[in-house]
Amino acid sequence: MQIAYRARDITEAHIVAGLLEANGIESFVGGHYLQGAMGEIGAAGFTNVHVADEDLYRARELVKEYEAGGHAVAVTDELEDKPDAYARWFLLAFIVVVFVLVYL
Protein backbone atom coordinates (compact mmCIF):
# COMPACT_ATOMS: atom_id res chain seq x y z
CA MET A 1 0.00 0.00 0.00
CA GLN A 2 1.08 3.53 -0.78
CA ILE A 3 0.18 6.84 0.85
CA ALA A 4 -2.15 8.69 -1.51
CA TYR A 5 -2.88 11.62 0.82
CA ARG A 6 -1.48 13.07 4.03
CA ALA A 7 -4.41 14.65 5.87
CA ARG A 8 -4.37 17.43 8.44
CA ASP A 9 -6.75 15.52 10.71
CA ILE A 10 -8.79 12.33 10.89
CA THR A 11 -11.94 14.00 9.55
CA GLU A 12 -10.26 15.19 6.38
CA ALA A 13 -8.68 11.77 5.90
CA HIS A 14 -12.10 10.14 6.00
CA ILE A 15 -13.51 12.71 3.56
CA VAL A 16 -10.75 11.92 1.05
CA ALA A 17 -11.13 8.18 1.67
CA GLY A 18 -14.85 8.51 0.98
CA LEU A 19 -14.11 10.37 -2.24
CA LEU A 20 -11.78 7.61 -3.35
CA GLU A 21 -14.28 4.89 -2.38
CA ALA A 22 -16.99 6.70 -4.36
CA ASN A 23 -14.74 6.49 -7.39
CA GLY A 24 -14.04 2.78 -7.01
CA ILE A 25 -10.68 2.95 -5.23
CA GLU A 26 -10.38 0.99 -2.00
CA SER A 27 -8.64 3.02 0.68
CA PHE A 28 -7.50 2.69 4.27
CA VAL A 29 -7.21 5.53 6.80
CA GLY A 30 -4.32 5.09 9.20
CA GLY A 31 -3.42 6.99 12.33
CA HIS A 32 -6.61 6.79 14.38
CA TYR A 33 -4.81 5.95 17.60
CA LEU A 34 -2.00 8.42 17.06
CA GLN A 35 -4.48 11.30 17.21
CA GLY A 36 -5.01 10.79 20.94
CA ALA A 37 -1.30 10.78 21.73
CA MET A 38 -1.29 14.56 21.96
CA GLY A 39 -4.14 14.78 24.46
CA GLU A 40 -6.86 17.34 23.81
CA ILE A 41 -4.83 19.14 21.16
CA GLY A 42 -5.85 18.18 17.63
CA ALA A 43 -2.68 16.55 16.42
CA ALA A 44 -1.93 17.08 12.76
CA GLY A 45 0.07 15.07 10.29
CA PHE A 46 -0.55 11.64 11.78
CA THR A 47 -3.35 10.53 9.48
CA ASN A 48 -2.74 9.19 6.01
CA VAL A 49 -4.97 7.69 3.34
CA HIS A 50 -3.46 4.54 1.87
CA VAL A 51 -4.38 2.85 -1.42
CA ALA A 52 -3.18 -0.21 -3.31
CA ASP A 53 -0.09 0.28 -5.46
CA GLU A 54 -2.00 -0.08 -8.73
CA ASP A 55 -4.53 2.62 -7.70
CA LEU A 56 -1.96 5.19 -6.59
CA TYR A 57 -1.82 7.28 -9.78
CA ARG A 58 -5.60 7.54 -10.15
CA ALA A 59 -6.02 8.28 -6.43
CA ARG A 60 -3.48 11.10 -6.54
CA GLU A 61 -5.23 12.59 -9.58
CA LEU A 62 -8.53 12.60 -7.67
CA VAL A 63 -6.80 14.15 -4.66
CA LYS A 64 -5.35 16.91 -6.88
CA GLU A 65 -8.85 17.72 -8.14
CA TYR A 66 -10.15 17.69 -4.56
CA GLU A 67 -7.44 20.07 -3.40
CA ALA A 68 -8.05 22.35 -6.37
CA GLY A 69 -11.66 22.68 -5.29
CA GLY A 70 -13.10 20.57 -8.08
CA HIS A 71 -14.40 17.95 -5.65
CA ALA A 72 -13.85 15.15 -8.14
CA VAL A 73 -16.98 13.11 -7.82
CA ALA A 74 -16.89 11.08 -11.01
CA VAL A 75 -19.88 8.83 -10.61
CA THR A 76 -20.53 6.55 -13.55
CA ASP A 77 -23.60 7.00 -15.74
CA GLU A 78 -24.86 3.59 -14.65
CA LEU A 79 -25.12 4.73 -11.03
CA GLU A 80 -26.66 8.08 -11.95
CA ASP A 81 -29.38 6.44 -14.04
CA LYS A 82 -30.32 3.79 -11.48
CA PRO A 83 -32.82 5.90 -9.45
CA ASP A 84 -34.51 7.01 -12.67
CA ALA A 85 -34.85 3.41 -13.82
CA TYR A 86 -36.51 2.45 -10.53
CA ALA A 87 -38.87 5.43 -10.79
CA ARG A 88 -39.85 4.48 -14.35
CA TRP A 89 -40.60 0.87 -13.40
CA PHE A 90 -42.57 2.00 -10.36
CA LEU A 91 -44.60 4.44 -12.46
CA LEU A 92 -45.29 1.78 -15.08
CA ALA A 93 -46.42 -0.71 -12.41
CA PHE A 94 -48.61 1.96 -10.80
CA ILE A 95 -50.31 2.80 -14.11
CA VAL A 96 -50.96 -0.89 -14.82
CA VAL A 97 -52.50 -1.42 -11.35
CA VAL A 98 -54.70 1.68 -11.70
CA PHE A 99 -55.76 0.58 -15.20
CA VAL A 100 -56.68 -2.90 -13.93
CA LEU A 101 -58.62 -1.53 -10.93
CA VAL A 102 -60.57 0.99 -13.02
CA TYR A 103 -61.62 -1.44 -15.74
CA LEU A 104 -62.51 -4.38 -13.52
DSSP 4-43: EEEESSHHHHHHHHHHHHHTT--EEEE-TTTGGGGTTS--
pLDDT at 21: 92
Task: State the amino acid at position 6 in one-letter form.
Answer: R
Q: What is the pLDDT of residues 17-41, one digit of tens each?
A: 999 999 999 999 987 766 555 555 5
- How far is the C-alpha of 43 from the C-alpha of 56, rounded, in Å? 26
pLDDT at 58: 92
Q: Which helix (H) or strand (E) holds 3?
A: strand 2-7
pLDDT digits (tens), the chain, 104 positions: 888 988 888 888 899 999 999 999 999 998 776 655 555 555 556 788 999 999 999 999 998 988 888 554 444 444 455 566 777 888 888 899 998 999 87
